[in-house]
Amino acid sequence: MKAIVYFSLLLIFSACASRQTKSDGFGNFETDEVIISAENGGRILALSYHEGEKITKGTLVAVTDTTNLVLQRSQLSAQKESILAQKAGLYAQIGVSDQQITNTQKDQVRIHKMLAEGAATPKQLDDIDGLIALYGKQKRAFSAQLITIDKNGSALEAQIAVLNDRINACSINAPIDGIILEKYAQAGELATPGKSLYKMANIDHLILRVYISENQLTQVKLGTQVKVIVDSSGGLKETSGVVEWVSSEAEFTPKIIQTREERVKLVYAAKIRVTNDGSLKIGMPGEIKF
């Protein structure tokens, strides 16, 4: 019986040793995680999804209250209409000034003729010239007011555009295709600008971050295809991955490595992109073989 136990232990240790020999790097799977946040303050009206649900880019995932923003926009719109309404009166006054100048210029022509015939005095000509100049100044003043009104109207339009953008931002859409990893809020809660609502990630492809020795660097090039080994219910499972990044600087082996001897070694980090068939999970350990 003891012989059987010793033989079984020997087989286990041999398998572990063989696995250590075959694998050229060890690490864990990770991916780029995206935090979806509220851009505006307000009550959360809807949070449509839960952890584990898969969604596509552009899907509406949350809605925050827009009441306050809509009221601000209505106020600015009313101010804009009030300001622009003044333009009609100014155009009318400019029209009156033009007519006054036209009529006075006709009188000016007559006075010039009368002055040549001795039937008018130089003072009458000076008076008519001054009147034309006065009407001209009035017209320019009205035109300047029109320019000011247009600038004020443009400023209000810009503020309304900002509010429209903020109102649109109250409908929050998924920025990527992926799966909801965590949900941080509930409908009915009060959101503040920047409040996290969801954490999501695309897990169609995962990154296996492994650490390799300096001697192995010559075997690792960008675009190189490598074997990826993971644990499964039926034992070890092999798939393929592509090297997409290798660190340019050495570092000490991360402390997640168990033995002190391994932790003090200098290694290089590398990222292996692996297509996920659904069996790979974030944080799951993996190995590579060149």
CB distance 167 to 41 below 8 Å? no
Question: Does 122 lie in the same domain as 261?
Answer: no
Contacts of 179 (CB under 8 A, 6+ apart): 52, 53, 54, 55, 200, 201, 202, 203
Question: Does 187 lie in the same domain as 231?
Answer: no
Q: Which of 197, 201, 200 is nearest to 62 (CA)?
A: 197
Give the model's pLDDT for residue 48: 87
pLDDT digits (tens, 9 = 90+) for 188-240: 999 999 999 999 999 999 999 998 887 887 778 888 899 999 988 778 888 99
Q: How confident is the model at residue 22 (pLDDT cuts 50, 70, 90)?
A: low
Question: Does 176 lie in the same domain as 135?
Answer: no
Residue ending a domain, among 128, 150, 169, is 169
Torsion of CA 70, 76, 78, 81, to 10 degrees: -130
Q: Find the CATH number of the domain harbouring 277.
A: 2.40.30.170
Question: Does 175 lie in the same domain as 60?
Answer: yes
pLDDT at 59 over 70: yes
Q: What is the arithmetic mean of pLDDT over 6-32? A: 58
Give the model's pLDDT for residue 151: 92
Is 127 part of a structural domain of the chain? yes
Lowest mean pLDDT among 123-137, 245-259, 265-279: 245-259
Is 107 part of a structural domain of the chain? yes
The Cα 127–Cα 22 span in angstroms is 109
pLDDT at 263 over 70: no
Question: Does 140 lie in the same domain as 84?
Answer: yes
Percent over 90 (pLDDT), the chain: 53
What sign does the CA torsion over 116, 117, 118, 122 have?
negative
Is 11 part of a structural domain of the chain? no
Residue ending a domain, among 169, 190, 220, is 169
pLDDT at 260 over 60: no
Q: What is the arithmetic mean of pLDDT over 74-99? A: 90
Question: Does 178 lie in the same domain as 56?
Answer: yes
CB distance 200 to 36 below 8 Å? yes
Q: What is the arithmetic mean of pLDDT over 23-41? A: 90
Question: Does 238 lie in the same domain as 95?
Answer: no
Helix 122-169 and helix 67-117, axial crossing angle in degrees, nearest 10 = 170
Give the model's pLDDT for residue 54: 93
Question: Does 265 lie in the same domain as 178?
Answer: no
Residue ending a domain, among 201, 216, 243, is 201
Question: Does 213 lie in the same domain as 285?
Answer: yes
Is 129 part of a structural domain of the chain? yes
**pTM of this prediction exceeds 0.85:** no
Q: Which domain holds residue 50?
A: 36-64+171-201
Question: Does 239 lie in the same domain as 148?
Answer: no
Question: Does 277 lie in the same domain as 244?
Answer: yes
The Cα 87–Cα 149 span in angstroms is 7
Q: How confident is the model at residue 50 (pLDDT cuts 50, 70, 90)?
A: very high
Q: How confident is the model at residue 253 (pLDDT cuts 50, 70, 90)?
A: low
User: How confident is the prediction for the chain on average, in pLDDT?
Assistant: 85
Is 185 part of a structural domain of the chain? yes
Is 160 part of a structural domain of the chain? yes
Question: Which DSSP string do the residues of 191-246 spell out, in sequence order?
Answer: E-TT-EEEEEE--SEEEEEEEE-GGGGGG--TT-EEEEEEEETTEEEEEEEEEEEE
Exposed/middle/buried for residue 179 (C-beta within 10 Å: 0-12, 13-18, 19+)? middle
Task: Tokens for 208, please give them.
Answer: 């296996």
Q: How confident is the model at residue 255 (pLDDT cuts 50, 70, 90)?
A: low
Q: Find the CATH number of the domain harbouring 190.
A: 2.40.50.100
Q: How confident is the model at residue 12 (pLDDT cuts 50, 70, 90)?
A: very low
Choice between 73 and 213, residue whose per-residue pLDDT is larger: 73
Domain count along the chain: 3
Element housing 19 (H / E)? helix 2-22
Question: Does 276 lie in the same domain as 206?
Answer: yes
Give the model's pLDDT for residue 65: 96
Is 74 part of a structural domain of the chain? yes
Is 3 part of a structural domain of the chain? no
Give the model's pLDDT for residue 256: 52
